[in-house]
Structure 1
């Protein structure tokens, strides 16, 4: 008998809920469509009024920069040139490092993992010997920051993780001699000009 009452109560609640939902749906006021309103869009019920809406892509609005002097504008133009020069290398480093992490994640054999790390290291060294070595000191400094921006880890941390502490320490010593710092990090606030250049460059459209 108790079970019968329980099921009867549940049935009444279900029917009431369905009736309430139908009543709410009937009361919804939809906008009047014109003859050219043929695109299906989403709608949200706002106190009985169905408000159509459509998601828009992010729009970045930037103001026209006013330069304090021709020298300041020239410095910005040089920075822009250097950022766009090294940005492809930072994106390559991100792609290659992410690929290495995926390969290591599915490989349990230590010997095979060392092979993967060596292959990645050889590939980066090859690119360094053919292209990156031609970068200026300023471009190299920007590149280390952009690697931190894209990968989420400093160049020093990447070397330490893949080659070990001693290799990272050795590379850092050499880098410091030529004016680089593998521990350099990226800060969007401090490096706001670089961030602005990257955002307006079209890399993330």
Structure 2
């Protein structure tokens, strides 16, 4: 019985060794190189033939939009102009508040945190006083939605977190007088035109 087991074990070892030897002698056909082939690329062994390849950036193809009426085209072009006008401000707010959160996380000193918030608030105010104050009501409405899209919080929530609930209430009251709503949220399904404009704008390239 022991002899049979040893014999079977011997057969298995021989078979495995033979299989490894066969794998070892499989030749791989390499691509022929030309005199100008000097760039190193990745390669994949496909059935014994080495296939060179390089990764490519994603290519997004957009369909050509057909408008029902000239008025629809005009309205879309106007919307695109307004989105492109305010999108840089939304991105600036996103980057600035992300930096603020990182800076606050690095210190437990309440005075330092308060100073960081004050400096951030001043930068945002300076930007508003310098550029954003000239925005139209429509552009302001779009901006509040885009801030929610980029930051993940409404403008009202941001003011409430940095300046307190009472200040946020005052800001909201003033905003409502001129047709703004700091609590505006962004829904990609409801704002499909805006979402399409942003994606095709090149802001994220």
Give the TM interval when normalised to the shorter protein.
0.7 to 0.9
SS at structure 2 position matched to 1:43: strand
1:130 paired with 2:137, answer no
Aligned match of 2:26: 27
Aligned match of 2:180: 180
1:45 Cα deviation after fit: 3.9
Give the unaligned 5+ runs of structure 1.
1-12
Aligned match of 2:7: none
Aligned match of 2:154: 154
1:47 Cα deviation after fit: 5.2
| Cα separation, partners in 2 of 1:167 and 1:49, compared to 1, 3 Å | farther
Write the distance in 1 (CA, Å) between the matches of 2:199 and 2:84: 11
Write the distance in 2 (CA, Å) between the matches of 1:78 and 1:187: 20
Aligned match of 2:197: 197
Scaled by the length of structure 2, the TM-score of the pair is 0.81
1:70 paired with 2:90, answer no
Write the distance in 2 (CA, Å) between the matches of 1:63 and 1:25: 51
Q: Which has the larger radius of gyration?
A: 2
1:41 paired with 2:41, answer yes
Contact 2:149 2:186 in 1 (8 A): yes
1:23 Cα deviation after fit: 5.6
1:100 Cα deviation after fit: 0.9
Q: CA RMSD in A?
A: 2.5
Write the distance in 2 (CA, Å) between the matches of 1:140 and 1:88: 13
Write the distance in 1 (CA, Å) between the matches of 2:30 and 2:192: 45
1:98 Cα deviation after fit: 1.4
Aligned match of 1:168: 168
1:113 Cα deviation after fit: 0.8
Contact 2:31 2:51 in 1 (8 A): no
Contact 1:93 1:147 in 2 (8 A): yes
Contact 2:87 2:146 in 1 (8 A): yes
Write the distance in 1 (CA, Å) between the matches of 2:31 and 2:100: 56
| Cα separation, partners in 2 of 1:170 and 1:24, compared to 1, 3 Å | farther
Write the distance in 2 (CA, Å) between the matches of 1:28 and 1:183: 67
Give the unaligned 5+ runs of structure 2.
1-12
Write the distance in 1 (CA, Å) between the matches of 2:152 and 2:90: 11
SS at structure 2 position matched to 1:52: strand
Contact 2:144 2:154 in 1 (8 A): yes
